[in-house]
Amino acid sequence: MTTSDANATAVRDELKSRTLSSIFWSVLRVAWSSLATFLIFVVLARLLRPEDFGVFALASLFFEVGRIIANGGLPDAVMREHTLDEELADTAFWANLAFSVLIAATVFLLAPLYERWTQMPGVGELLRWLCLLMPVAALGGIHTARIAREFGHRSMAKQTLIVSTVAGVAAVSAAYLGFGVQSLLVQAALTNVLGALLAWYYLRWTPQWRFSFARLRQVISFSAGMMATQLLWVLMVRVQDLFISRVHGAAAVGQYRVAWRTIELIGQIVLAPIGSVSLITLSKLQHQPDAFASAYQRLIGGAALVGLPLLFGFGAIAEELIAHVFGRQWAGTGAIAEVLVFMAVPFVLNYISGPALAAINRSWTVLAVSALQLACTILLTWIAVPYGLVAVALAYVFRAYLTAPVQQLALCRGVGTSVASSLSSLSAPLLLSLAMAMAVWIAKPYLAAELGHGVPLILVCTLLGTALYVLGIATFARAITCRYLEPLKALVLHRNR
C-alpha cells in the first residue's frame, strides 16, 4: 500500500469514527428532545383543546415558511463547504440576520390578511408574536451550523437537553394556569431564545464586521436551492392543514397534526439524526464515488433497520395508544395515524436521499423532486378532503409512493448507485417489520379480550412486537445487522482504549 493510499484509508477511518460518534450524540440529543417534547405534548394535549392546537398549527405554518426564506439555505451552505473560511462565515451570518429582519417585518404586516384567508380568529395575533422570533433564531443559525460541521453533536445534545426541558416546563405551567393557546407561544419563544444563547456559548465565535457579495454569490446557487427545497418540504407536509381548516375547521387540523406528530416523533428520534449527519459525512466523500455509494447504502440500511419496525409497530397499536395517552378529546386520531404509517418506506428514504443529493451539489434536483411532491400533494388533498381526515391521510400515502421512484432515479443518476441496491438495503428490515406488525395486529383482539384496551394491552403488544422483530433479525438477517453494528463496536472499543 502506498503512502497516499494509507493516508486516504486513515482519513476514511477517521471520518467513519466521527460519523458514528456524531450519530450517537445526535440520536441521544434527538431522543431526549423527542421524549421530553412528547411527554410535554401529552400533558398539553390533556390541558388544551384540539382547536388550540389547530389555530397554533396554522400560525406556525406561516412562521416556518418565513423562517426558511429568512435562512436562505445559508446554514446548509456553511455545513457543506469542504474548507470553510472566516470571510464566508461572517458573510453568511450577516446575510442570515438581515434576511430574518426583512422577512419578519413582512410577515408582521401580512398576518391580518392570513387570518382572514384561513378564517381562523386569533391566527394573526399568534403569527405576529411568532415572527418576532425570526431574528432571534437567526442569531444562532450559523453558529449551530458550524458546530454541526465540526461534528460537535455532543455540544448540540447538551443544548437540546436544556432548551427542550426549560421551554417544555414553561409551556406546561402556562397551560395549567389557563393561558390556553398562548402556552404554545411561550414554548416557541423560549426554544428560540435559549437556542440562540447556547449556540453562542458552545461556539465562542464572534462574527467580524465584514460582508462579501462575491463570497455570497459563490454559495447562493446551492443555498437558494436548499432554501427552496426546505420551503417545498414544509409546504408538502403542512399544506394539508390549509385544506382541512377551510373544510373541517380548527379542531380537525388539531387532530390531523397530532396524528402527524406521532409519526414525526419516530422520524425525529431515529431518522433525523442519521439524516443530519448524512449531509456532513457524504459531503466529505463527494469526490470519492465508491466510498460515497458505500456510505449511502449503509445509511439507508441503518435507517431502515430501526425506523421501519418502529413505524409499522406503532401502526399496529396506534388507535389504542393515542386514545389512552392523549385522552377522549382526540378520538379518531388513531385511525389517521394507522393510515399514515403505511408511507414508511418513502418516509425513511426521504431522510437520507435528500442530504445525499445535496452533498453532491444537486440541490436543484432536490428542488424539482420536492416541487413535484408538493404539486401531487395539493392535487390529491383537494380531491380527498371532502371525504374526511382518513381520506386525506390516504391521499398523502399514495402521493409518497407515487413520487418516491422519481427521487431515487434522480439519485441514481447523480451518485452512480442503483435503485436495486437501495431496495436491497431496505428489503430485510421491511419484510420483517411487516411480518411483525401483522402478527401483532392479528394477536391484538385476542389479547384485548383478556387484558382490555388499556396499558396492559399496549405493553404486551409492544413486547410481543419487539421480541418478534429481534427474533426475525437474529434468524434471517444476522449478517446485515452485524454489518451495521460492527463499525459501532469498533468505535466503542476505540473509545475504551
**pLDDT value for 216:** 82
**Residue 434 pLDDT more than 90?**
yes
Is the pLDDT at 236 greater than 60? The verdict is: yes
58 contacts: CB under 8 Å, gap ≥ 6: 118, 120, 123, 241, 242, 245, 250, 253
pTM of the model: 0.74
Q: What is the mean pLDDT of residues 450-476?
A: 88
Asked whether the predicted pLDDT for residue 497 surpasses 60, the reply is no
Q: Worst-scoring range by mean pLDDT, 123-132, 225-234, 331-340, 483-492?
A: 483-492
Task: Count Cα atoms within 13 angstroms, Cβ side, for 447.
Answer: 20
What amino acid is encoded at 395 in this protein? Answer: A
pLDDT category at 492 given cuts 50, 70, 90 is very low
| Least confident piece of the model among 195-204, 282-291, 339-348 | 282-291
Across all residues in the chain, what is the average pLDDT? 81
C-alpha distances in angstroms, 402 versus 343, 367, 369, 395, 405? 11, 17, 12, 10, 7
The amino acid sitting at 464 is: L
Shortest CA distance to 381 belongs to which of 372, 369, 390? 390
| Main-chain phi, psi angles of 315, to 5 degrees | -60, -30
pLDDT for the residue 395 = 94
Confidence band, pLDDT 50/70/90 cuts, at residue 33: low
Distance, in Å, from the CA atom of 100 to the CA atom of 121, rounded to the nearest integer, reads 26
Cell numbers linked to 154: 455532543
d(CA 403, CA 399): 6
Classified as helix, coil or strand, 2 is coil
Choice among 251-265, 285-299, 401-415, 438-452 with the minimum mean pLDDT? 285-299
**CA-wise closest residue to 346 among 385, 307, 316, 290:** 307
Residue with the larger pLDDT of the pair 5 and 44:
44
- Residue 494 has a pLDDT of 41
Is residue 66 pLDDT above 50, yes or no?
yes
State how far the alpha carbon of 143 is from the alpha carbons of 65, 93, 133, 195, 202, in Å: 21, 8, 17, 10, 9
Q: Are 101 and 218 in contact (CB under 8 A)?
A: no
Q: Is the pLDDT of residue 84 over 80?
A: no
User: How far is the C-alpha of 135 from the C-alpha of 67, rounded, in Å?
Assistant: 9
Angstrom distances, CA of residue 469 to CA of 265, 298, 317, 426, 462: 20, 20, 15, 15, 11
Q: Does 37 have pLDDT greater than 80?
A: no
Q: What is the pLDDT of residue 23?
A: 56
Q: Which three cell numbers stand for residue 271?
A: 431518522
Q: Hey, is 41 helix, strand or coil?
A: helix
Which pLDDT score is estimated for 225? 72
